[in-house]
Amino acid sequence: MGTSIFVGLTVAVLVLALSQFPMRSAAPRAISPLPDTNPHPNGGFGQVIGNLIQSNASGTLRDDFHAGLTGWEGFRSSGSDWNLGGGEVRPVSLRLWKPSTSLSNYELEFMGQIDHKSMDWAFRAADLHNYYATKLVMTRPGPLPNAGLVRFVVLDGRERERVELPLPLTLERGVDYKVRVSVRGNRFLTSVNGQLISSWMDNSISRGGVGFFSEDGESSVLKWVSVSERDSFIARIASHFSLIAYPTAITFPTAPAASR
């Protein structure tokens, strides 16, 4: 019975995918010099399924900051230390996107630029004192691989277990980078412009939203952010297609539980 239901749902998803072919637009052009590591660069049917998963399988929150900083809350009063202009924002102290704070499993995507040193974000942020944090860091100027990733956990306001990893990438100031963070269960995948750069596991925080910040000596520009919730029934069915749509997710070595 269960198999019949799944087959029926699969057929329905495939029919929906086929109906989308006439509406597909040309593939977007590259937005940064990072290489594309997807072994299926032309997309194909699996990519169609992936696009449907992203657009139809779950509710999506999106903010392009043209309406100001409504919904972003931090220790300081709204707008007092985030610089907003022209639909772009420069984060300073940590602010959380309140509509996302009740979520558990989701896909975070955002577009930003590194202005000085790094671009920083938080996820599974239960509040301003408990969250996971990640930094995409320019370790040195120049064209050689100059990237690093820093990640840590903040529990009860105290930073724990900071890890710094080199990345085989070259980052540049003033270049758009699209970051995607997949948050599911105790596993977190991070990619930049489609290239998987980090996979790690942790059980400290089970629920919480997203946020952005910059520490002393850092500066970045945030252009838009979206969060797609992944706990709906349709999203769980659609997740069976994730290995087709995003094959890079299975090529990264799996870390043991609670490792950093």
16-73 per-position pLDDT tens digit:
444 444 444 333 333 344 433 333 334 444 444 444 444 444 589 999 999 899 899 9
Half-sphere exposure of 59 (CA within 13 A, CB side): 7
Which of 46-50, 143-147, 177-181, 205-209 is predicted least confidently? 46-50
Average pLDDT rounded to a whole number, residues 106-112: 98
Pairing state between β 209-213 and 195-201 = unpaired
Going by pLDDT thresholds of 50, 70 and 90, the confidence category of residue 250 is very low
Of 159 and 255, more confident: 159
Residue 184 token pair: 């599911």
Entry pTM: 0.69
CA-wise closest residue to 182 among 170, 196, 172: 196
Reported as type and span, the H/E element at residue 228 is strand 219-229
Average pLDDT rounded to a whole number, residues 5-11: 52
> CB count, 10 Å around CB of 71?
15
Pairing state between β 147-155 and 209-213 = unpaired
Residue 129 token pair: 């004192």
Q: Which residues pair with 61 in a beta bridge?
A: 227
